[in-house]
Chains A and B, each alone.
Chain A
């Protein structure tokens, strides 16, 4: 039995915004339970606005207003210790958890940074924000070693972000995020702004840090099911703030269970004959407004199998076959 690394139990996190006396609550993560084990590369797939990026931040309790943690539990298994992340104050998270236990590669990370600060300075700033008394030389030695391991030239450390191509930047980000050998790496759409040739190079870097044993577990968040298929061992499908299906990659690609997963895989347009043989498919309608989600199953207005119960009651996520979890009334034995 593999060891668990991170466990989410019925986690809810909402965006709460007030305009005068009107409060708008967007239920971006609404009752998510998920377990990530050592050795897992979990692909979290969903469309824009399904809450997957919010989930990425919630997984490490990086919660800033207007996002609020509502309830649930987040447990991190750090050796013999179990850290209940949702109970820890932000200072402790910053000192003990972020970067050391869980690290994140945010979307387009280096694009948001000062272009006039050298990579060397940047790395020191980041490490010092977690641990002010760190030995600078040691940090740089470590960084250079990590750069070499993932195939980046040593001199990159003295360059400015603007001197690097998109692919190089993203690999620098991977090097920085893995500097302290965290147990879990969360990658939030790390390749979405890159062209496909560069994208493959960045994915390869992620696979490399995994194969070298630097990182033992990865949560890879993306909108592209074909990308996730290439890198993940397990796929978690999100729709409207909830997990609708959670299975091994091979199972889900060959035989998706949830009608949404089926629609998502059916609408993939890759240059393959198998895909061309079936007709171009799509899911009618559009995802719900998370401030006002429909009752029952959130997918029912777009689902061609919707039954009475789907409109009334929310389906729970249950294991229908070994290792296959799905939240759909079609598979529920009554």
Chain B
């Protein structure tokens, strides 16, 4: 469903003496429909740059991103085609607060989603769909509708972003650190929603995180990124038991575990 071929992004800085930073270095991978694939790496490993290119927010230096047979950077030319693409993919970002305009009630992001698919948010159908979407993500519509973003918790705000996904039924969700600002006791609830969307609607998800533990639990496949390259990949259990790259091994040794205690030599 999504093919990434030899994707490279080089940032150039400075006017006279150019400094080149290779953020993404010739990466390739495939994602099948209904899969949750995690991109795991530390800050600066190129995972967010990759996400931005797939979201068509940032042009690549070279390489291709092919979604449903179309190269999204070559074949999408008109504004109409781009709008069509953005209906099929949806982004969920790290800071749910930044995804809202603080001056508007949270209803607005849901209304805009309905308008995008041609449903009048004020009609009975529109109102019912919004309620249904909020119930789907485990929120009581009466608790959240009509509120401003600051009146809700981070978990509630992130759930509303996923309710928006439910309304639009995108083929692909690109979630960039969606739970890193949410307390541990509520993370499970959010990541379960991505799994629920996969099971109910075969929604494909690219899950970007620095947390290998999280990736281990949520994904069907893990890609480990390090210095712009994919250095290791595989099914979660396979990767945890038999990491091939030095970096993955080091990462696994450094992630605090709950049951196994480190020896500190």
Contact = CB atoms under 8 A, between A and B. Distances in A.
A and B found bound together: yes
B109 to A, nearest CB: 20
Interface residues of A, number: 38
Contacts of B184: 47, 223-225, 264, 267-268
B259 A230 contact: no
B250 interface: yes
B254 A282 contact: no
B61 interface: no
Contacts of B188: 267, 269, 280-282
Given A276-B217, A286-B153, A286-B155, A271 B255 contact: yes
A230 B262 contact: yes
A33 interface: no
Interface stretch (A196-204, A310-318, A321-329): A196-204
B144 interface: no
Contacts of A199: 254, 256
A44 B212 CA distance: 24
B259 A272 contact: yes
B257 to A, nearest CB: 5
Contacts, number: 117
A304 interface: no
A137 interface: no
A282 B252 contact: no
Given A263-B185, A282-B187, A272 B257 contact: yes
Contacts of A207: 264
Nearest to B155: A286
A255 to B, nearest CB: 13
Given A269-B216, A272-B260, A286 B186 contact: yes
Given A47-B184, A286-B153, A275 B259 contact: yes
A280 B250 CA distance: 25
Identify which of B187, B188, B210 gathers the most chain A CB atoms within 10 Å of its CB. Answer: B188
B43 interface: yes
Interface string A261-302: 001110111111111100011111011000000000000000
A273 B257 CA distance: 11
B185 A195 contact: no
**Chain B interface residue count: which class?**
35 or more
Contact of A271 (B42, B191, B213, B261): B213
A62 interface: no
A226 interface: yes
A41 to B, nearest CB: 12
Contact of B185 (A204, A253, A271, A282): A282
Contacts of A284: 189
A268 B254 CA distance: 16
Interface string B5-47: 0000000000000000000000000000000000000110000
Nearest to A204: B264
Given A271-B252, A282-B189, 15 more contacts: A195-B43, A196-B254, A223-B184, A230-B257, A265-B258, A268-B213, A269-B211, A269-B216, A270-B258, A271-B236, A272-B257, A275-B258, A280-B192, A282-B185, A286-B155
28 contacts: A47-B183, A195-B42, A195-B210, A204-B264, A223-B184, A229-B256, A229-B257, A229-B258, A230-B261, A267-B187, A268-B184, A269-B216, A269-B217, A270-B256, A270-B257, A271-B252, A273-B237, A273-B240, A274-B259, A275-B217, A275-B258, A275-B259, A280-B188, A281-B188, A282-B187, A282-B189, A282-B192, A284-B189
